[in-house]
């Protein structure tokens, strides 16, 4: 059963303009971890906007949980390359922001604030930010800010997590640490993930399935299942099996540049 489904989806941002993506078909099962890779400008982020209901398609249909998407979805959490934490709010208050917006949490927040705060603090502790709940964003490193951003995306327990280059601005060591953090959160209680990334190692390490997009207009060139055993640790990234997947993806992307 597909939880997210694209049927012949195209999107042009301007009426009569060139499409950003064209004729995209894909199917994502509930609890599946999917990564989308491809050259710059291929429409990876456009897929996210369509799946979350932030943009309607010009043609075709997008379904989430067997319903056609017709507007922003409450069951989605999102995180981006920039953490976008509000500088005047503490880490805890930043993480709790979706609870002030998304129903039914918004309605329940006043009565159940202590319970929600406890959940947010537990989530921060889970990602290594115990003791940082009352700090402001400028008191956190880049990696800590991204951990908080992912907590904010998960606090309302979304069924679909959309990640747009969330680790792209971090150094290699911090990036790998956060791969493991995300892996652990997902394995503990699997939710559906769509990860947009330029990092092929990141895609292979985290995903069940990797989709390769073509240069603009973006089309799905390849659907590559990643048959590496789970749970995965970083030692796996030095194996031949891992390298084989990375090279296969790189080859498909590289062919478009010639």
pLDDT at residue 39 greater than cutoff 90? no
Confidence category of residue 252, pLDDT binned at 50, 70, 90: confident
* Token pair for 184: 């652990």
What is the CATH topology of the domain spanning 1-75+161-258? Rossmann fold (3.40.50)
**Residue-level pLDDT at 43:** 85
pLDDT by residue (tens digit) across 224-247?
Answer: 999 999 999 999 999 999 999 999
**Residue-level pLDDT at 253:** 82
CB 51 within 8 Å of CB 194: yes
HEC readout, 183-249: HHHHHHCCCEEEEECCCHHHHHHHCCEEEEECCCCECEEEEEECCCCCCCCHHHHHCHHHHHHHHHH
* Token pair for 57: 């398609």
Q: Angle formed by the axes of helices 113-126 and 142-154, to 10°?
A: 130
DSSP one-letter code for 111: T
**Residue-level pLDDT at 216:** 86
Q: Rounded to an integer, what distance in angstroms lies between the CA atom of residue 51 and that of residue 172?
A: 29
Q: Rounded to an integer, what distance in angstroms lies between the CA atom of residue 145 and that of residue 137?
A: 7
Return residue ranges of the chain for CATH 3.40.50.300. Answer: 1-75+161-258
Average pLDDT, stretch 32-54? Answer: 90
* Token pair for 76: 């989605």
**Residue-level pLDDT at 36:** 95
Average pLDDT, stretch 82-92? Answer: 95
pLDDT by residue (tens digit) across 110-161?
Answer: 888 899 999 999 999 999 999 999 999 999 999 999 999 999 999 999 999 9
**Residue-level pLDDT at 79:** 92
Average pLDDT, the chain: 92
Average pLDDT, stretch 206-212? Answer: 96
**Residue-level pLDDT at 256:** 65
pLDDT at residue 254 greater than cutoff 90? no
**Residue-level pLDDT at 103:** 82
**Residue-level pLDDT at 221:** 92
pLDDT at residue 22 greater than cutoff 90? yes
Confidence category of residue 168, pLDDT binned at 50, 70, 90: confident
pLDDT at residue 186 greater than cutoff 80? yes
**Residue-level pLDDT at 131:** 94
């Amino acid at each position: 059963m597909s939880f997210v489904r694209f049927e012949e989806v195209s999107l042009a941002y301007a009426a009569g303009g060139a499409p950003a993506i064209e004729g995209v078909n894909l199917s994502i099962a509930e609890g599946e971890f999917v990564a989308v890779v491809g050259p710059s400008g291929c429409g990876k982020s456009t897929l996210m906007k369509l799946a979350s209901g932030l943009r309607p398609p010009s043609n075709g249909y997008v379904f989430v949980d067997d319903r056609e998407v017709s507007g922003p979805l409450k069951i989605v959490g999102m995180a981006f390359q920039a953490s976008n934490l509000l500088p005047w709010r503490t880490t805890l208050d930043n993480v709790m922001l979706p609870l002030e917006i998304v129903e039914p949490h918004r309605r329940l927040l006043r009565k159940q604030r202590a319970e929600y705060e406890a959940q947010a603090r537990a989530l921060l502790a889970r990602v290594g930010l115990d003791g940082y709940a009352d700090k402001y964003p400028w008191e956190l490193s880049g990696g800590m800010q991204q951990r908080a951003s992912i907590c904010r995306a998960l606090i309302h327990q979304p069924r679909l997590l959309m990640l747009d280059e969330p680790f792209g601005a971090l150094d290699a060591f911090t990036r790998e640490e956060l791969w493991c953090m995300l892996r652990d959160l997902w394995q503990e209680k699997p939710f559906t993930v769509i990860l947009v990334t330029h990092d092929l190692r990141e895609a292979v390490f985290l995903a069940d399935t990797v989709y390769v997009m073509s240069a603009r207009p973006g089309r799905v060139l390849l659907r590559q299942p990643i048959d590496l055993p789970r749970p995965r640790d970083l030692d796996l990234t030095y194996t031949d099996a891992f390298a084989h997947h990375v090279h296969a993806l790189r080859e498909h992307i590289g062919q478009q540049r010639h």
